[in-house]
Amino acid sequence: MDGFSAELLWRGLLSLPGLALATALLVLVLCLGGRRSRRPGEPPLIKGWLPYLGEIQNFQKMPVTYIKTLQKKHGDIFTVLIGGKYITFILDPFQFQLVTKNHKQLSFKMFGHKVSYNAFAIKMLLTNQELDHDLHVCYQYLQGKSLEVLFETMEEKIKHNFESRLLRNRNWDTEKMLIFCISIVFEVTFTTLYGNLLVADKKKFISELKDDFIKFDDIFPYLATGIPIELLGNARSLQKRIINCFRQENLAKFKGWSEFVQMRQDILEKYYEPDNSEIAAHHLGILWASMANTIPTMFWAMYYLLRHPEAMAAVRDEIDHLLQSTGQKKGPGFSISFTREQLDSLVYLESIILEALRLHSLSATLRFVENDFLLPVKSGECLLRKGDLVCIFPPAVHRDPEVFEAPEEFRYDRFVQDGKKKTTFFKRGKKLNYYIIPFGSGASKCPGRFFAVSEVKQLLFALVTCFDLEVIDETPVEQSYSRILFGVSYPSSDVLFRYKVKS
């Protein structure tokens, strides 16, 4: 464990009731820790020397390097004990479809619903398949024509945000980049999905909800892995405060819900009484899903854009060409309008976002093994044990020098070829279907991925068009691995930048 998680865990265990629990856990661990051994047909097993915790320290310290070291030693499939869970890693991208297609034997729902219960206090999904099905239907409102409506709404929110907060000052203004991204993304996302607030002090409501959300997001990985919420400091009170913001009486204060939020609310009210707090817990889930990875993606894309003058020049050039082709000019304020199709034509802008995701997405595709199962891999059959997790680990592909030349480097044009989006990458001479996988795959593929990328594109477009931007602190920023397996990494430190309105 890292220092943060260890501190939280031991703070709870060393209380008087916690001490008894710790003793019981220690006895249980010592009794069970050495029992598991590799069965015939199973992948290589790496348990480490720490009972229960296994290889968690090595994994959290340098996860990609550690997994690649195991890959060289054991091949593309192996099982590792990490924090009490046996996880079988599948690293050959040509075998990823074996995991995503065998959804009956390798279940995402079991894993996903447990995370929803542990993190958001959503209990009904554990037992009610009809609710799960009906809620999945709502994801159609994050695609197609509904996404176009969200795109237009988001453009209005960005314009309002910039005009009211950013375009007033003609002098240089200095801010911390991560704090800036958190503030902009949170407000734009929230108001796009939930509309305007009918409260006296909107700024205070948004600010307090944002602060609670960021604190909750910090502890989300620990909740998701099953650490009891009582052992995580003030996690319970944070969770309750955010949930209370979405209770029936507070939802009435939001005017102009998106079609997506309205449809989910209509479905939830068919399964719950209107005043049931679990409806509000579902909204906490949507809040987290819509922002937790968009915020760090925005940070890294903006960070690289400002750190690399050649990237900024390429983006400015293609934006200028777009404005010329549509008969628009840069001027005071945010008067430029564009369609989603036009925004998607900016291939260098998209390449920068994809490159940021390639370097900093730590997400994994996880599946729960329902019963002992023989996975038909290219070398024969691989026995997966009931109760284990199976993991597709995209960072191993994203950092593969056979797929991406100089994979540790940021290259703004890595996903551009002959002026068009590059979608062809190879490994062992074969074309890859899976080469950039920041949003999961199969049944667990993020349904809001188009919404999230569209938001980052719009925000970067607006910043580049309206402002002169400069990084002040040239010290390279490292990434934190606290969100390993669960999303895009945050930076380990913030960086100062400055901006002023273009004359």
DSSP string, 445-494: S-TTHHHHHHHHHHHHHHHHHHEEEEE---SPPPBP-TTTBSSBPPBSS-
Angle between helices 108-120 and 202-224 (to 10 degrees): 130
Q: How far apart are CA 483 and CA 395, in angstroms?
A: 13
Across residues 38-55, what is the average pLDDT? 93
> Mean pLDDT for the chain?
89
Please choose, from the candidates 205, 277, 268, 187, the residue with its C-alpha nearest in 3D space to the C-alpha of residue 239: 277
| Same domain as 185, residue 98 | no
pLDDT tens sequence across 149-194:
999 999 999 998 888 777 677 889 999 999 999 999 999 999 999 9
- In 3D, which of 388, 355, 372 has the Cα closest to residue 90? 388
pLDDT for position 383: 95
Query: Do the beta carbons of residue 496 and residue 173 sit within 8 Å?
Result: no
Q: Do residues 190 and 81 share a domain? A: no
Residue 425's CB is within 10 A of a number of other CB atoms, namely 19
Q: Are residues 377 and 313 in the same domain?
A: no
- What pLDDT band is residue 140 in, cutting at 50, 70 and 90? very high
Domain boundary among 381, 398, 415: 398
Residue 321 has pLDDT above 50, yes or no: yes
Q: How confident is the model at residue 13 (pLDDT cuts 50, 70, 90)?
A: very low
Q: How many domains does the chain have?
A: 3
Assess whether 170 and 192 both reside in one domain. Answer: yes
- Residue 442 predicted with pLDDT over 50: yes
Q: Are residues 39 and 57 in the same domain?
A: yes
Residue 359 · residue 57 · CB < 8 Å: no
Q: Are residues 472 and 452 in the same domain?
A: yes
CA distance 218 to 482: 8
The predicted-structure confidence for 272-281, as pLDDT tens digits, reads as follows 998 899 999 9
Block residue for tokens 């404005």: 323
Indicate the burial class of 419 (C-beta count within 10 angstroms; 0-12, 13-18, 19 or more): exposed
Same domain, 190 and 148: yes
Model confidence at 447, pLDDT cuts 50, 70, 90, reads confident
Q: What is the DSSP code string of 110-154? A: HHHHHHHHHHH---GGGT-HHHHHHHHHGGGGGSHHHHHHHHHHH
pLDDT for res 490: 97
Does 427 share its domain with 355? yes
Joined together, the tokens standing for residue 260 give: 């997506």
Average pLDDT over residues 19-42: 63
User: Residues 27, 38: one domain?
Assistant: no
216 in the same domain as 123: no
Taking the CA atoms of 428, 432, 434 and 436 in sequence, report the sign of the dihedral they define: positive
| 434 & 381 share domain | no
> Which among 350, 372, 398 is the end of a domain?
398
Tens of pLDDT, residue by residue over 77-127, are 999 999 899 999 999 999 999 998 888 899 988 889 999 999 999 999 999
Whether residue 252 is predicted with pLDDT greater than 50 in this model: the reply is: yes
Report residue 357 CA to chain centroid gap: 10
Range of the domain at 340: 133-361+407-501
Please give the angle made by the CA atoms of 7, 10 and 15, to the nearest 5 degrees.
130
Taking residues 206-216, report their average pLDDT. Answer: 96
How far apart CA 340 and CA 350 sit, in angstroms, is 12
Write out the E strands in 314-398.
365-369, 373-375, 382-384, 389-392
Residue 32 pLDDT exceeds 60: no
Amino acid at 440: G
Read off the pLDDT of residues 396-425 as tens digits, 9 standing for 90 and up. Answer: 999 999 999 999 999 999 999 999 999 999
Query: Burial code of 175-207, b = ≥16 C-beta within 10 A, e = fewer?
Result: eebbebbbbbbbbbbbbbbbbebeeeeeeebbe
Element (H, E) at 252: none
Query: Which of the two residues, 20 and 306, has the higher pLDDT score?
Result: 306
Based on the domain organization, do 252 and 343 belong to the same domain?
A: yes
Output the domain CATH number for residue 354.
Answer: 1.10.630.10
